[in-house]
């Protein structure tokens, strides 16, 4: 059995399909770090390698199913909504039951959370008096730069746009790393972020309050 680790999960001992345990990760900082933490956790005990930055959810999950990697860190919300297409917040047992027919499984949670949010440059948000997502909805002239994955997720941009009645057309997808450079240069006004991104502070961004509690806490 191969495993999909939920967000910030402990590595558990499961038999790998190859002599070397192959750990994958997505193309953003937290996933890189988690993949490396997992590699270092088992290094010296069994042969292990980290294959960083494989791509978005679809690409990394396909690699897992194909047997190109043996595990990768994943968000429980992504497993539920994007991989299994179920609503709500199913527990580990429910996720494992649904993944079992695919020969996959989920390890235990590590106990802390990372979620999507929208952010603006602090100076821009302050000038426009934008503190919340409801405030953002009052400014239809702003330019959004959203990641392709956030745009494509039902619990990402489509659901958020409906929940707040956002007056914006869906923009073209923008690589997450490039979006930080674009917002710093003023080419976009708003971007999607992960709430634990180290670049939030580096680029002096204001994380907009989700005042309608759309994103899971």
Is residue 15 one of the residues assigned to a domain? Answer: yes
| pLDDT tens profile 149-185 | 899 887 899 999 999 999 999 988 998 889 999 999 9
- Counting the structural domains of the chain, the total is 2
Contact 215, 132 (CB under 8 A): no
Q: Helix, strand, or coil here: 43?
A: coil
The full length of the chain comes to 217
pTM, rounded to two decimals: 0.65
| pLDDT tens profile 92-104 | 889 889 988 888 8
Residue 153's domain spans which residues? 116-207
Q: Is 198 exposed, middle or buried (0-12, 13-18, 19+ CB in 10 A)?
A: exposed
Residue 98, domain CATH: 3.40.190.10
Distances (CA, A) of 9 to 23, 34, 71, 87, 171: 13, 9, 11, 21, 33
Say if residue 18 is in the same domain as residue 54.
yes
Is residue 111 one of the residues assigned to a domain? Answer: no
Does residue 206 surpass a pLDDT of 90?
yes
Say if residue 86 is in the same domain as residue 60.
yes
Is residue 213 one of the residues assigned to a domain? Answer: no
């Amino acid at each position: 059995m191969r495993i999909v680790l939920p967000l910030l999960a402990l590595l558990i001992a499961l038999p790998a399909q190859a002599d070397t345990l192959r750990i994958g990760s997505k193309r953003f900082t937290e996933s890189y770090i988690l993949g490396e933490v997992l590699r270092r956790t088992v290094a010296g005990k069994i042969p292990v390698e980290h294959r960083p930055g494989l791509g978005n959810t679809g690409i990394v999950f396909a690699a897992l199913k194909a047997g190109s990697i043996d595990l990768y860190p994943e968000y429980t919300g992504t497993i539920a909504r994007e991989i299994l297409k179920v609503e709500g917040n199913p527990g580990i047992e429910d996720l494992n039951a649904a993944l079992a027919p695919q020969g996959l499984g989920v390890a235990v949670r590590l106990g802390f959370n990372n979620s999507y949010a929208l952010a603006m440059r602090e100076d821009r948000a302050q000038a426009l008096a934008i503190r919340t997502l409801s405030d953002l909805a009052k400014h239809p002239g702003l330019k959004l730069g959203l990641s392709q994955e956030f745009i494509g997720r039902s619990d990402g941009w489509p659901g958020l746009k409906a929940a707040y009645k956002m007056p914006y057309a869906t923009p073209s997808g923008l690589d997450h790393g490039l979006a930080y450079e674009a917002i710093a240069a003023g080419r976009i006004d708003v971007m999607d972020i992960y709430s634990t991104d180290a670049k939030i502070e580096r680029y002096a961004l204001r994380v907009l309050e989700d005042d309608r509690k759309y994103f899971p806490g």
